[in-house]
Structure 1
């Protein structure tokens, strides 16, 4: 039983060793192949007897070498026989280098398609500056994201607040970078607001942008807190829908005991109605809405990072090696895409 297993294990070890050797050879040729192709004739000029012809080296005894135009004699020198053979060997090295570069590029593309390295979490919600409002006053809270390194295409903001202290009046999408909205929900019984939307390819790639605005009316004086819930999402336009939201925030506003005057209250209502009217006009022309439209001080909490397995760490390392090698190519020759 053991004797029958050992040959199979030996074969697997041999295959694995060959794959590792081939991987190193491909990456070595990608880095230094063109340099070797240029250096080959120079090496031959100084050390002709120690410069082997690659075709002769690969042939068996007495086989014919088309570059040197002779039969291979392993007992004698197998150095190139002339300029034609030298240039042919240099061309072979250059072609192998280009082929190796294409293999490295393909390896990197496959790793990125599989999600290595994962898109980093860099986006967070902007915490508004410290503000205070009067009792009964209508005030806006902008939903802004910052830290965009990879274009995003889908955003979901889930907001929690004390329904005894605040009333959500409306959610505006005026001046939003998003063009499609699929959900807008306000629940003043439990204190919850959700706005979900996005935009098609290539997504939104500015460092900072406004997604929407929530209008609240204060109901009691004191310090009130509005929280972004962990169910909030910011998905990258990376083909995998990676959530790049790195932290969630909470915002605090101070509501003064002085009640807003009737004149100020009427002014707030008129301003809010005007904003809502403008929002509807803009929405009808530039935005697609798939919901029923009738319907500060702060802190940030870091979201937990997903654990990376040893295999994933190894694949991430491979991608970094490939990207580093191809970066050298791009700097030297302007070749190979990102």
Structure 2
């Protein structure tokens, strides 16, 4: 490859070509040192390759022509070049997380980067006047990737390779927050208090997280489903499968766009109760005077059931569990005197 005047080469015996008088003898000089001679052809074209290698460093090459009559021309304009046959040292590769590669090399050199270990350069970049270079891969390199780099100096000498291993520091996103859980089933709707109860088996959760992250919602260790936080980090989720009646502990995690998963949010506990309550019991009441009941006691209109509650409804109502025999007599009298008023008997509706 032709070297420009003032350029560099790693060829210590570069070939010179030129034109002069046909059939003239061409003398080639390095400074004042004669390197050798050649002869121009019938068209005046000539070529010359030194038989002795030029030393590394700067050189000023000139030629003169001697015609067949022995007349010698003035010297040509000088062609300057630098011979550089020494390979540069390996370039410097800075530690990287795979998003940007950077380092230093010989000023003006070309850095070749092998990004997948196949020995073939995948990218090249030039070092600036201070030797600094940078390269940004189209796709960030994964952790553990070994990057190899060589540099080719302006003379064409290639350095040994330098390597660096991509190290990605994993930064977990912040844990999401479950802000509210909402009951949408009448008769009582609205926000559910943490630890409270709801008759909504598919309550709606809302919260905040890292923008654009994927939110995974769990009931204990069971994944209920996922949703996506918007650009402001807000998210909402409603289970597609009804929660069973009973206690539940709801948590959420966030997975950012790099695939890093957060720790779980604080648990939001609630109890789902979709069963209607049992109807209240009925009561039997009879007037009575203040007295201590003794077993067996007078009948008080009680049905024949094994266990009921006597209730005094006078000035200080009292409740006393007791039992009745088949003759409506108490077998378990109250331990204290029942004030004047009514003596009532309460029993569950589903009692015999």
| Normalised TM-score (structure 2) | 0.23
Work out which structure has the larger RCO, using CA pairs closer than 8 Å and 6 or more positions apart in sequence: 1
Which of the pair is proportionally richer in helix?
Answer: 1
* Bigger radius of gyration among the two: 2
